[in-house]
A and B are shown apart, each in its own frame.
Chain A
């Protein structure tokens, strides 16, 4: 009886773990992408993967057209709803003074498919009736999900086989946490680096940084940037991996300053009231 009970308990835990992994934050989503011309000629292939909630930013440009799209997925049971926001530009000709004339368009498309199904995106419209199968340029996307293994960072891979086209595949992940490394600089003196894992929009945190026998107390908090001004930047989520570090001192009620940047390990500087300079770099947090 006890043995039966332990088996059923173990089975329950295993099923619960499986469900959590399939639906929860431990899931990793992969977009496998191929760009194909006329059903035979492969122009590019690649993949983009990231934690659940990772979007795919795709762009294709040549001399006559430009297509940019952001694909987002919403898992629902065994199916997934794929929606795409498209921004396109097509060259119509030239003006009398020799300048290129372009037609700009934006729209949204959505389709439901099962995990592992293939979605074929005809970038310039459906093939005409009577046209050969696979006619025209299309993008093939296969959506796969799996266990993340604790990896929270996105990964991108792209192989462009036709250099006449500019093709971009990017993972768009809104970070849940960010690794912030700070140094204080005063003349030729630099303090030791202090690293913090910060969560956007969490309450500010008080930190102390020592340099040359003097301690500086700061209140730091991470925030999302202001919404992008242009509709294109907003829809394509061009600032998805940007975070802003708000810095204040306990003595002054107003923030001393804000440093914004992508999670790309590039150092950004902010002068502090006492004459010191704060250098901050943002990065993806290490996997757990």
Chain B
């Protein structure tokens, strides 16, 4: 797995250096579409190169924006987390009771069998 990533990281370097053929670039693009790790690595490489270009005095260098979490996905996961929390609290209360409870409930009781 790590060897495979090493291979693709070398490919990303070559692509950014402009040393790849069209077929190789297509192959890399296909891999980046499925591999978030390599896509992130490519974005980092780009950022580093942009920073270096800026420091070298290139005013047109720009940072490539990274993909961000979309609002809908964030809202969805927030609702899921809330629902799981409420359900877990409900079950735990039924099983162990809430924090504290009444004093009388915690006192000893004698039952005849």
Contact = CB atoms under 8 A, between A and B. Distances in A.
Contact of A88 (B105, B108, B112): B108
Given A128-B97, A130-B94, A105 B107 contact: yes
Interface stretch (A110-118, A199-207, A228-236): A110-118
Contacts of A126: 105, 109, 111
Contacts, number: 60
A171 interface: no
Contact of A121 (B94, B103, B105, B109): B109
B110 interface: yes
A120 B110 contact: yes
Contacts of A113: 112
B108 A67 contact: yes
Given A118-B113, A120-B113, A69 B108 contact: yes
Interface residues of B: mostly helix, strand, loop or mixed? mixed
A107 B104 CA distance: 10
Contacts of A112: 112
A109 interface: yes
A124 interface: yes
B95, B103, B105, B112: residue with the most chain A Cβ atoms closer than 10 Å: B112
B106 interface: yes
A119 B108 contact: no
B108 A118 contact: no
A107 B109 CA distance: 11
Nearest to A113: B112
A125 B113 CA distance: 16
A117 B103 contact: no
A266 B94 CA distance: 54
Contacts of A123: 108
A124 B112 contact: no
11 contacts: A90-B106, A107-B108, A109-B109, A111-B112, A112-B112, A117-B113, A120-B111, A122-B109, A122-B111, A123-B108, A125-B105
Given A105-B107, A111-B112, A120-B112, 4 more contacts: A82-B110, A107-B107, A110-B110, A113-B112
